[in-house]
Structure 1
Amino acid sequence: MSCEVATGSSTPEFVTRIGGRIRTLRKLRDWSVQQLAEASGISRRMLTGIELGQANPSLATVDRVARALDTDFAALALPERDAAEDQVEGTVVWQAPDGSQALLLGATQAPRAELWRWTLAPEGQYDAEPDRPGAQEVHHVLTGRLTLALATGTQVLAPGQSAVIASDQQYAYRNNDSEPVVFMRVVTGA
């Protein structure tokens, strides 16, 4: 069965937040956009678009920029937390017209780990770019059936099932069924 790739994008709130934070961190280092481009491997044009909130960067692109600035994805992505808050609702980082979305719920600094809640609509797919060497993801399916497409083959997880994968490779999340799939994702070492 062929899957349609969910043509999604970063949310406007996410793009605006990371753009401002990237610009602030770049200026604190007294770097030009060109210096950040060289350090991150991202084009100067793309970085300018990101800082202005006009680009739609992939999650991997944001991660590369974060690493170049000696920070992490979550530090750029999550909203500022009020010290009085006990709970964080998270932030929608990616969404597709079909209702698929990725919600970053929280993160730790040392060791670095991110907690996500993903929803893939029927026939939805998300193609991921490789993380840094040694990175891993833990997936736990809440509802539906998740297909993990890896270089070594596919794994299908039913509700209540979990899997650990190396995320330093090309991989994809797929929902080959007619019902949405909801799963938790923990990223370590990215």
Structure 2
Amino acid sequence: MNVAPTPDIGKLVKSTRKALDLTLEQLAERSGVSRSMLSAIERGTANPTFSIVWALAQSLGLDLATLEGTSRQDEPIEHVHHYSIPMRRSADGRCELFMLSPVRTVLPVEWHHLVMKPEGCLESKAHAAGTFEHLTCLSGALSVSVDGKSVHAQAGDTLRYRADKPHRIDNTAGEETRALLLVAQPDQYRTKTTTV
């Protein structure tokens, strides 16, 4: 692997944000990083943690290696080990969501491997307008609730639903449930808006 000079993360984040016509507020909503932290990173007065760097890389469509100062462009195959796959846990600690999407993707699509312990629940606030989720149950059973309606799915079933409203996924099996979650984001992030 070739090692490139460590980049100026603040300048790179700011230039990419402006190239995508995103305000600080929009990037904060998109990445989950606070506006004040984003502002400090862009000014060079804050040193972001790895999780923040990863969130920014994903939100801006940048290769994580670009932000870390490494390059894998000469490699014909990228091997991502299981322990390197970004993961977050649900509020109840019973669900794990593994990010399978390549961090360098510029497509408005993310895909995840969802692992739910018995009685696990993954609650989400409304995503940006126009966002849809496609959830395929691989094993066990689950239900999706949106707008007061709940639909159950068994292994092999797929549920498609609007994710621009509060929604939740529940493990309805008495055992571990696994699913593949695809999040189709709206193209509105690419539209022209006023920048900061």
Query: TM-score, with normalisation over the residues of structure 1?
Result: 0.61
Change (3 A) 1:23 1:130: farther
Among candidates 72, 84, 96, match of residue 76 of structure 2: 84
Report the counterpart of residue 172 of structure 1 in structure 2: 168
**Paired AA for residue 85 in structure 1:** I
2-side partners of 1:55 and 1:142: how far apart? 28
Aligned in 2, Cα 1:175/1:110: closer, same or farther, shift over 3 Å?
same
Q: RMSD of the alignment, in Å?
A: 4.1
1:106 partner SS: coil
Q: Which residues in structure 2 correspond to 1:41-60 (within 5 Å)? A: 43-45=34-36, 47=38, 52-53=48-49
Aligned residues: 157
**Residues 105, 46 of structure 1: alpha-carbon distance in 2 compared, 3 angstrom cutoff:** same
Match of 1:136 in 2: 132
Do structure 1's residue 104 and structure 2's residue 99 form an aligned pair? yes
1:1-190 correspondence to structure 2 within 5 Å = 23=10, 25-28=12-15, 37-40=24-27, 43-45=34-36, 47=38, 52-53=48-49, 66=59, 71-72=60-61, 82=72, 83-89=75-81, 91-95=85-89, 98=93, 100-107=95-102, 109=105, 111-190=107-186
Q: Which runs of 4+ in 1 moved over 3 A?
A: 20-31, 35-52, 74-77, 79-82, 86-90, 96-99, 107-111
Q: What SS does the aligned partner of 1:182 have?
A: strand
Gaps spanning 5+ residues in structure 2: where? Answer: 1-6, 187-196
TM-score, normalising length from structure 2?
0.60
Q: Could you say if the C-alpha distance between residues 29 and 162 of structure 1 is closer, same or farther in structure 2, counting changes exceeding 3 Å? A: closer
Report the counterpart of residue 13 of structure 1 in structure 2. none
